[in-house]
Structure 1
Amino acid sequence: MISFKKQLLLSMIYTFILVLLFQSTALSCTTLIVTPGATIDGSMLVAHSDDNHLIDQRIIYVPAMDHQEGELRPVYCSAAAIDEFPQYASFFYPRINATDRGPGYNTPGFPQSIPLGYIPQVAHTYAYFDGSYGIMNENQLMFGECTDGAKVQLDPKPEKLIFYSSELSRVALERCKTAREAVELMGKLIDEYGYYGTGETLPVADPKEAWVMEMAPSPDETGGLWVAKKVPDGEIFVAANQFRIREIDPDDPDILFSSNLFEIAEKHGWWKAADGHLDWLKTVSLGEYNHPYYSLRRVWRLFSMVAPSREFSPWVEDGFTRDYPFSIQPDQKLSVRDVMMLMRDHYEGTEFDLTKGIAAGPFGNPSRCYGPNDGQGDVGNPNRELLGAWERPISVFYCGYSTICQGKADLPDPIGGILWVGLDKPSETLFIPFFAGVQSLPLSFSQVDTAQFSRDSAWWAFNFVSNWANLNYKAMRADIALMQDKYELKMLELLPVVQKTALEIYQSNPDLAREYLTNYSTQNAEFLVKEWWNFADQLIVRYDDGMFSEPKKMAQQVGYPQEWLDLTDWSQGPITYKKRN
């Protein structure tokens, strides 16, 4: 029997190999904000795809807590920042193992997380949903996230550089009710306690107001650099692994920034006053992340889908293009279901359609499995030779989970806030709602180990269906779409009824309303996960051995499309007894 220590060592070696192979895909996400004036029902929407199969896929509920005067809050290292840090017991799984974060983060059999430092604790912290990054709290404060290339990338330093964006977002969710309050707190923490890791974009919103905060390590290796910009109501913001804030006007009330930004930029030759307004993107980064169009293609795609009248071009001069504004007005207002569909995109119907061409195989599979022969690597090495690169879609095969946070100002926070969770790849998942006022999450969502298949895990249900669809993507994607329509549309139809009932209870007994919302969210989620496992079993039979089966018509031969056969040597097969020339 292999000892725990040996298992842990083997796991670390395996993970290290994966990081070497896939370092450019391990930390890359797509995120967007849809402000109330741009939505059909006046909701604030913040979406995020956590595109990282290496990292802990658990969705954790962190309860509200009361703390003693003089108590300190530990700040833990994050493997999502750059890599695993065994010296701080910071691993891809579990991301945190600490009893001070509630029962969800108590993972037996693993070492306890070691703090990089401490900050003063507050008397009361709010409940929130947590993933690789903080997601949403009980006050309808919500986050998105994407990793960006930066000129400087630093390792954590205890007591000196202790914050990465993940812990910043968690502290904000623990202590804040509004987006501006969260931005100001995170900026203060960066200034005082230091920032390490990669460049980061954090969309942060409440039901009324949305901000985008971007941050990067400082070349002085102390403190950090950050800026934040308010998203105008009625507009949509998109980011995809590249900084999106440009000019920093010190007189603009809708822009905030670190007090040392101009000083540090000038000191290191990144900017000078004669240049005019400091361009944040050009100042702290080398442009686009990974390879040309890795980031900008997704920005173009989302903008072109929500505002086709703008006729944005997918082709730009370079990674510092100004062709795509910070935010835009959509041609038509969006619903939460519209955002779900945006997150499922593979450039269908465009010249970049990943369901077309020889690489998609005979059944139009949009997944492109990356390896050592692909164009990879951060923009930190712009002179590397690129021999080829796949288009990077919004819905990518290595997505671990995606979230859509929905906030409504006209309802009490526990009822108006909804977290829609889609486990695994957005295009093949089901978005499942949890109200901000719930007091727990189903165990199947918070107990996930991607190193061990389990039918007790909700994540594995959706991951299995997504992987099984690779056998015949075109056919199974149609089956999946029918299931998504069936359940997502039904949930959207029922939610106003649930909210109305909860509101009636809340007016006389807020605690009972939270209990009602918890029971509804849990029972609904458990039902849907069970349905997805049943669906998975049906797909196994229906598409067994490359054929199609249904009751009384089993093992129907499907074969390959003629247009794909024409690309192969099929026509040169043994159709005569003559020797092939």
Structure 2
Amino acid sequence: MIFLTTIIMVLGVSSPAYNCTTTITGRDASADGSVMVSHTDDGMGDARVVYVPAMDHPEGSLRPVFYDNAAMGYLPQWGGSQTHRLVTDTRGPGYRVNNETPSVPLGYIPQVAHTYAYIDANYGIMNEHQVSIGECTDKAKVHPMPEPGKRIFYSSELSRVALERSRTAREAVKLMGELIDTYGYYGTGETLLVADPQEGWVFEMAGYDMNGTDGVWVAQRVPDDGFFVAANQFRIRDIRKDDKDMIYSANIFDVARTKGWWQPEKGLLDWAEVYGDGEFHHPYYSLRRVWRAQSLAAPSLNLLAWVDGPFTRAYPFAVTPDQKLTPQDVFAIHRDNYEGTEFDLTKGLAAGPFGNPNRFEGGAESTMNKEGSLSDLEGDFERPLNIYRCAYAYVNQSRRWLPDLVGGVVWYGADRPATSVLMPFYPAGQGLPDSVQTMDVLTFDRNSMWTAFNYVANYAMLKYEYMIQDIRAEQNRFESRAFGSQQGVEAKAVNLLEDGKKEKAKALLSQYTKGNADEIFEAWWDLSTHLYVKYNDGYINTEDQIAQPVFYPAWWLKAVGYEDGPTSYGNPSGNN
């Protein structure tokens, strides 16, 4: 009973922490022919983005496999901390954290002679050979706990091993499947999107028994002209044995039949329904985001916003965009708060007088009655693509017409998409700025990129519809410059490569991305002080005039009882 309670507590704490959204854009669906993967890491935890260098390893060495907070929340017996997912000297300098408990391996696997450089975060992001990964957590029927010798892999460490060892998406998918089969899987259900310059795959996995020693998994290729989105619910449906665009674990049918979850005589095995358990938290927590993302990419489909249940067939596996997508288009999807729809979170009383789209989440304790006991108040807010608790977001591009050093680029945005700025980083370059590798949610750190963006995003909630205009002006300034200058910088790097000057090409890209990031970093702290001065005490303050009043809109005043205020000496209630 105590063990069961612990599991429930862990899942209760961790389940909203990494409920992300992720997309793939096929090469024929993108404006420039790249394969794109995007991801929002929607959790209040470790927002560091870390560079892991390429490494050579002695023959016979072992690679440690660590527990990760992203799996089931912070479990102190496996080391690390609430704010730092890994503490180890085995992954380069980025994961060396002073004065914290070293991470404890769940187990080991044989190491390879050489591992590739990659950019890492709560899940692997992209490696030097343009293999790219995105992620979202899914609700499975069974969420086993980690156990050395039986279940040592979760999707986070799977993604890292894949980036360390794979040159193609197919290699990465097959490797992760083999690791699950051999070393066991624990934690929540998971979706990993895996891409390279040629193609993109959806790889979904789950445990199926609390004492199991393996797991189940399936992968499906995204059509080259397709746009795919996942949002905390399995998206692969019917398993077709003769489909060349589908790979799955050897046990997928036997497990489902043995568990009584599927009867072959009733038709094809529906992965999402057989191994999944619907949506996280409440109806439309996942499906609304799938509907919105697909509708933004392909509005001509006129997709239905209301469906008959969690396993609806209303939303295709992938859609063909009405117009080919750019990285900016994909990130605009992640910045969305349902603006212009019936679910618009910038409208209504819950948005307050100044159109704040952020809706804080809470449990039953947030709806106590006057006597202090839990009330029977039930309800939920819409869950948007853009959410206040996002730690970081990105759009990766894998470009087949460019050498790996230049072709793989991560367009990274700190904190939530709506208030972040996309900045480019190259996994095959010389590393990342210290500012993006520095973060502690319990520390106000002026050396942290995340802190700067999170601070501005939080402050903007005071008068959102006004401050977001200032923020967007800075977004547009920096993003327009970065996308405008990218081709010229990359052309110089390619010329250096053609002249045999690889290290100079790396240095050029790294100097460019570091300089750009440093300027944005400084500008965002400047923006924080600008917003403070301009909107101090609820006014608008400029050099032309200070204390310009900004009163509340009439509709909101009516809704909150402004007209019942003290406008005369009489008591409107008639009571003394």
CA 1:335–1:156: 2 relative to 1, 3 Å: same
- Equivalence for 1:435: 426
2: CA distance between counterparts of 1:305 and 1:246? Answer: 23
Give the Cα–Cα distance (whole angstroms) in 1 for the partners of residues 15 and 453 of structure 2. Answer: 24
Instruction: Summarize the alignment of residues 294-373 of structure 1 with structure 2, pairs less than 5 Å apart.
Output: 294-373=285-364
Contact 1:375–1:388 (CA<8 Å) still a contact in 2?
no
Amino acid at match of 2:553: P
Whether 1:25 and 2:16 are equivalent positions in the alignment is yes
Question: Matched residues in 2 for 1:349 and 1:185: separation?
Answer: 43
Asked if the contact 2:139/2:277 (under 8 Å) is kept, the reply is yes
Correspondence for 2:544: 552
Map of 1:13 onto structure 2: none
Shift in Å at residue 357 of structure 1?
0.6
1:275 Cα shift? 2.0
Alpha-carbon distance in 2 for matches of 1:469, 1:163: 39
Measured after TM superposition, the shift of residue 119 of structure 1 is 0.5
- Asked whether the 8 Å contact 2:14–2:73 carries over to 1, the reply is no
Match for 1:272 among 237, 240, 263? 263
Residue in 1 that maps onto 2:195: 205
Which amino acid in the other structure matches residue 261 of structure 1? I
**1:91-111 C-alpha deviation (Å, 9 max, x unpaired):** 332111110100100001011
Counterparts of 1:359 and 1:255, CA distance in 2: 44
Task: Please report how far the alpha carbon of residue 436 of structure 1 lies from its aligned counterpart in structure 2 after TM superposition.
Answer: 2.6
User: Which AA in structure 1 matches 2:200?
Assistant: A
1:183 maps to 2:181: no
Structure 1 position 90, deviation (Å): 4.4
Q: Distance in 2 between matches of 1:274 and 1:520?
A: 60
- How do 1:147-186 residues align onto structure 2 when only pairs under 5 Å count? 147-186=137-176
Q: Is contact 2:192-2:204 (8 Å) kept?
A: yes
Q: Contact between 2:533 and 2:541, CA under 8 Å: does it hold in 1?
A: yes
1:524 Cα deviation from its structure 2 partner: 1.0
Amino acid at match of 2:115: T
SS of the equivalent of 2:33 reads coil
Give the CA deviation at 1:23.
Answer: 4.4
Q: What are the Cα deviations for residues 135-180 of structure 1, in whole angstroms up to 9, with x where unaligned?
A: 0001111000000000000110102100000000000000001101
Q: What is the distance in 2 between the residues matched to 1:118 and 1:286?
A: 31
Alpha-carbon distance between aligned partners in 1 of 2:556 and 2:215, rounded to the nearest angstrom:
53
Which amino acid in structure 2 is aligned with residue 266 of structure 1?
Answer: R
Query: Could you tell me which of 128, 138, 150 is aligned with 1:138?
Result: 128
Which residue identity lines up with residue 355 of structure 2 in the other structure? Answer: G
SS in 1 for 2:163: helix
Count of matched residue positions in the alignment of Structure 1 and Structure 2: 557
Instruction: State the match for 2:480 in structure 1.
Output: 489
Equivalent residue number for residue 559 of structure 2: 567
Q: Report the CA distance shift for 1:22/1:541 in structure 2 as closer, same or farther (over 3 A).
A: farther
In 1, distance between residues paired with 2:339 and 2:35? 27
Deviation at 1:22, TM superposition (A): 5.4
Which of 529, 546, 569 is the matching residue for 1:537? 529
- Using the TM superposition, give the Cα deviation of residue 462 of structure 1 relative to its aligned residue in structure 2, in angstroms: 0.3
CA distance in structure 2 between the aligned counterparts of 1:429 and 1:155, rounded to whole angstroms: 35
* Partner of residue 382, structure 1: none
Contact 2:29 2:320 in 1 (8 A): yes
Computed over aligned residues only, the root mean square deviation of the Cα atoms, in angstroms, reads 1.7
CA distance in 1, matches of 2:112, 2:377: 50
Contact 2:133–2:195 under 8 Å retained in 1: yes
SS of the residue corresponding to residue 433 of structure 1 reads strand
What is the CA–CA distance in structure 1 between the aligned matches of 2:47 and 2:264, rounded to whole Å? 45
Any gaps of 5 or more consecutive residues in structure 2? 1-6, 368-375
> What CA distance in whole angstroms lies between the structure 2 residues aligned with 1:223 and 1:547?
60
Alignment partner of 1:107 out of 87, 92, 97: 97
Is this contact kept in 2: 1:374–1:388, CA < 8 A? no
Q: Which position in structure 2 is the counterpart of 1:407?
A: 398
User: How far has the Cα of 1:386 moved from its partner?
Assistant: 8.2
Partner of 2:502: 510
Whether the aligned pair in 2 keeps the contact of 1:192 and 1:223 (CA below 8 Å) is: yes
Distance 2:65 2:101 in 1: 16
Shift of 1:18: 10
Out of 204, 216, 222, the residue aligned to residue 213 of structure 2 is 222
1:129 paired with 2:119, answer yes
The offset of 1:27, in angstroms, is 2.3
Distance 2:457 2:214 in 1: 42
1:375 and 1:387 in contact (8 A); partners too: no
Q: Which of 519, 530, 541 is the matching residue for 1:527?
A: 519
- Which residue in the other structure is 2:386 paired with? 395
Number of the residue aligned with 1:282: 273
Whole-Å Cα distance in 2 between the matches of residues 445 and 210 of structure 1? 27
Cα displacement string for residues 312-350 of structure 1 (whole angstroms, at most 9, x for unaligned residues): 011000001000011010111111111121110000000
Partner of residue 73, structure 1: 63
Task: Give percent identity, aligned residues only.
Answer: 49
Residues in 2 aligned to 1:576 and 1:467: alpha-carbon distance in whole angstroms = 38
Code of the residue aligned with 1:580 in structure 2: it is P
Distance 1:204 1:123 in 2: 23
Structure 1 counterpart SS, 2:541:
strand
Question: After the TM superposition, which residues 58-69 of structure 1 pair with which residues of structure 2 at under 5 Å, given as runs?
Answer: 58-69=48-59
Deviation at 1:287, TM superposition (A): 1.6
Q: 1:18 to 1:402 in 2, by over 3 A?
A: farther
How many angstroms apart in 1 are the aligned matches of 2:124 and 2:155? 9
Q: In structure 2, what residue type is equivalent to 1:512?
A: K
Q: What residue in structure 1 maps to residue 373 of structure 2? A: none
Residue 245 of structure 1 is matched in structure 2 by 236
- CA distances 1:38-96 after superposition (whole Å, capped 9, x unpaired): 1111111100000001x211100000000110010000011111122211114332111
Q: Cα–Cα, structure 1 residues 578 and 20, in superposed 2: closer, same or farther, change >3 Å?
A: farther
Aligned to 2:107: 117
For 1:415 and 1:103, locate their aligned partners in 2 and report how far apart those are by CA, in whole Å. 24
Equivalent in the alignment of 1:260: 251
5 Å matches for 1:368-383? 368-373=359-364
Give the partner amino acid of 2:140.
A
What is the CA–CA distance in structure 2 between the aligned matches of 1:44 and 1:452, rounded to whole Å?
37
Cα offsets for 1:419-441 (capped at 9, x unmatched): 11111111011111112322111
Residue identity opposite 1:462 in structure 2: F
Q: Residues 180, 528 of structure 1: CA spacing in aligned structure 2 closer, same or farther, 3 A cutoff? A: same
